[in-house]
Structure 1
Amino acid sequence: MIGEVNGEAAPSGRRPYDGRRRRELAEESRGRVLAHARELFLSQGFGGTTIAQIARAAGVSAESVYKNFGGKAGLVRAIQEQSLLGVGTLPAEQRSDLAQTTATDAVALMEQFGRFAAEVGPLDAPIVLLIRDAAASGDADMAALLREVDDARYRRMLHNARQLIAKRLLRPGLTPSEAADVMFACTTAELYESLVGKRGRSPEEYGRFIARTLIANLL
């Protein structure tokens, strides 16, 4: 029987190349690796977890993990980036930008920021704390990653501050750096650790705390 590939006849006996299915399988494999890596890192710690354990749990080879992620630090970076997406159909950052673009009520927007924090915090904060602890133990790669994560978060807060000041949604007289510092302080993993991990607050209560703090200091 004659098959067709991209509208052209393919030699008999050969299956057409299905690039989409291959990409889907690769994404499924990547998802399994990240899910099992997250579970093992958070239960055993960064130093106590090996690539071999992660590969075995995910049903892939250790070589493929190294090829796709470059090692444990690369895996943690990928997990942290994935955490920032949140759980919505659109990444949390995109939803935040949309909320800022359409906002007319500053209080409602700060409350929305709190809800974003309640959504992303449970995913992101434990991984940032893992990075922090590994960096404190002397791991140079994780120390560098911690700086990258903090720098990226500050750049994001400065972006937010500039947008909000341009829309005149913040208190007059606030500079972008002052507003960014407030938002930066409100989104530290240590704050999540204190309120949720140590004080037993729910993520929703944590989000409301952030919203009230933003309202009190920015509006």
Structure 2
Amino acid sequence: MLRVDVTKNLGEFAVEVSFASEGRVTGLFGASGAGKTSLVNMIAGLLPPDRGVIAIDGDVLDDTADGVHIPPHRRRIGYVFQDARLFPHLDIRQNLDYGRRMNRLAEDPALWARVTDLLDIGGLLDRRPGKLSGGERQRVALGRALLAQPRLLLLDEPLGSLDEDRKVEILPYLVRLRDEANVPMVYVSHDSGEMRQLATQVVMLRRGRVIAFGGVEVLPLAAASSAG
């Protein structure tokens, strides 16, 4: 379970969010400026809350009352950004192995085979990021995050920089991740179509507040509520 109960003041904007999700994919949905990325950065440990608690399966990552703030590198949370952020000087094999090496994890050939097969990236290993399509780069970024063996995967608008053809290409891989990877995910998007395909629970945000929480059936009502 992911439990979030936080407040964060960001100048004239404030995030005040509370929810507890047991979903395989918790969707954070809302218009630009709703506070989605700020919330994900708090879960990742990149942005400490002013007040509140963040916990995964009972393991407390932030608790301002007790002075707890676990640094990002100790949270075992994978983060995939809108741009893949691969290292251009490394080939794909080296990019994929980066998270494992940085976390000083033992090599796991079975996990390597499972992830490269799941994302269909085994044929890309000797290439450089500059030779890949946008969809291929995002699949490699997903693979790198999974190979670091996270207990939670954060995906912040991972399809946001892709054209429609590339989105159609990568969505099935995200569905496979949800169904087969056995890693809970937080998926950030303002696209209700993506949410309907991927999310199992949805947190609807508007101006830093939760306006709806539940299954994907909340999307039509909440989308109408957050318009404008």
- TM-score under structure 1 length normalisation: 0.27
The structure with the largest alpha-carbon Rg is 1
The structure whose residues are more often strand, as a share, is 2
Higher-RCO chain (CA-CA 8 Å, sequence separation at least 6)? 2
- TM-score under structure 2 length normalisation: 0.26
The structure whose residues are more often helix, as a share, is 1
